[in-house]
């Protein structure tokens, strides 16, 4: 099936795309930037860079330290981080729905799909 | 203003994005692949490659030779070429409309946009 790749291009030149949003989701799931990076086959350094880019874009953190608990620290999303993930996913869903008819029409013309 | 970058990722691994669609529109406008490439700051070779990629994706041409006429030849879109441009533009419009609310909500959180 064809799918849409969607990226938000900001006036500042910054971008918010599926890579950064997937990373935030993985941080939320694993409670750690390192573990999130590993789950995505990404170096710790690269995962940090992407989080820092988002922090810079918004001028405040999307991820914060989580102190204490039995895992002894780690990371969690800030309310802003959750907003970014939630809005991006909702945007993606709305976009997928809105594009369906046109995507199917293009797909029907593809090589190998013709009678 | 923030905007959405949208690309169609096909199951074959091929992509249809704004670059190829802009090129088709320029070919339609200028009646020549070379002139279309020039208008986009693209080499003739690169413009040809992109057209060839689209031909390969669909298994038939999106651009055809235009013989005769006072300009003595040139290129024009095939019906398939026009379909791809039209559907992609309509998709883009539908996507922009569907994403507006979520995009505004994310934009309202950006650095420098806060009170």
From B9, B58, B111, residue closest to A3, measured CB to CB: B9
B115 — pLDDT class (breaks 50, 70, 90): very low
- Pick from A12-16, A99-103, B3-7, B68-72: least confident: B68-72
ipTM of this predicted structure: 0.87
pTM, whole model, 2 decimals? Answer: 0.87
Is the pLDDT assigned to residue B52 strictly greater than 90? yes
B103 interface with A at CB cutoff 8 Å: yes
Chain centroid to CA B76 = 15
Is the pLDDT assigned to residue A64 strictly greater than 90? yes
Helix axes B79-107, A79-107, angle to 10 degrees: 170
A95 interface with B at CB cutoff 8 Å: yes
Q: Which pLDDT score, from 0 to 100, does residue B57 have? A: 95
Instruction: Give the pLDDT confidence of B56-101 residue by residue, as tens digits.
Output: 999 999 999 987 666 556 999 999 999 999 999 999 999 999 999 9
Q: What is the 3-state secondary structure (H, E, C) of chain A?
A: CCEEEEEEECCCCCEECHHHHHHHHHHHHHCCHHHHHHHCCCCHHHHHHHHHHHHHHHCCCCEEECCCCCCCCCEEECHHHHHHHHHHHHHHHHHHHHHHHHHHHHHCCCCCCCC
Return the bridge partners of B103, or none. none
Report chain B residues whose CB lies below 8 A from the CB of A4. 6-9, 95
A52 interface with B at CB cutoff 8 Å: no
Higher pLDDT, A56 or A67: A56
Average pLDDT over residues A78-87: 98
- Pick from A6-20, A60-74, B17-31: least confident: A60-74
Return the residue of A nearest to B85 by Cα.
A106
Q: Which pLDDT score, from 0 to 100, does residue A111 have? A: 81
Q: How far is CA A30 from CA A40, A41, A60, B28, in A?
A: 11, 14, 22, 51
A115 interface with B at CB cutoff 8 Å: no
B106 interface with A at CB cutoff 8 Å: yes
From A4, A87, A94, residue closest to B106, measured CB to CB: A87
């Amino acid at each position: 099936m064809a799918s849409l790749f969607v990226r938000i291009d900001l006036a500042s030149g910054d971008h918010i795309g599926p890579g950064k949003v997937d990373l935030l989701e993985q941080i939320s799931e694993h409670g750690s930037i390192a573990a999130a990076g590993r789950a995505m086959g990404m170096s710790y350094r690269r995962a940090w860079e992407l989080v820092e880019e988002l922090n810079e874009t918004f001028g405040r953190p999307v991820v914060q330290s989580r102190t204490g608990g039995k895992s002894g620290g780690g990371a969690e999303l800030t309310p802003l981080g959750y907003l970014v993930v939630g809005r991006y996913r909702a945007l993606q869903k709305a976009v997928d729905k809105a594009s369906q008819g046109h995507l199917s029409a293009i797909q029907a013309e593809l090589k190998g799909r013709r009678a």
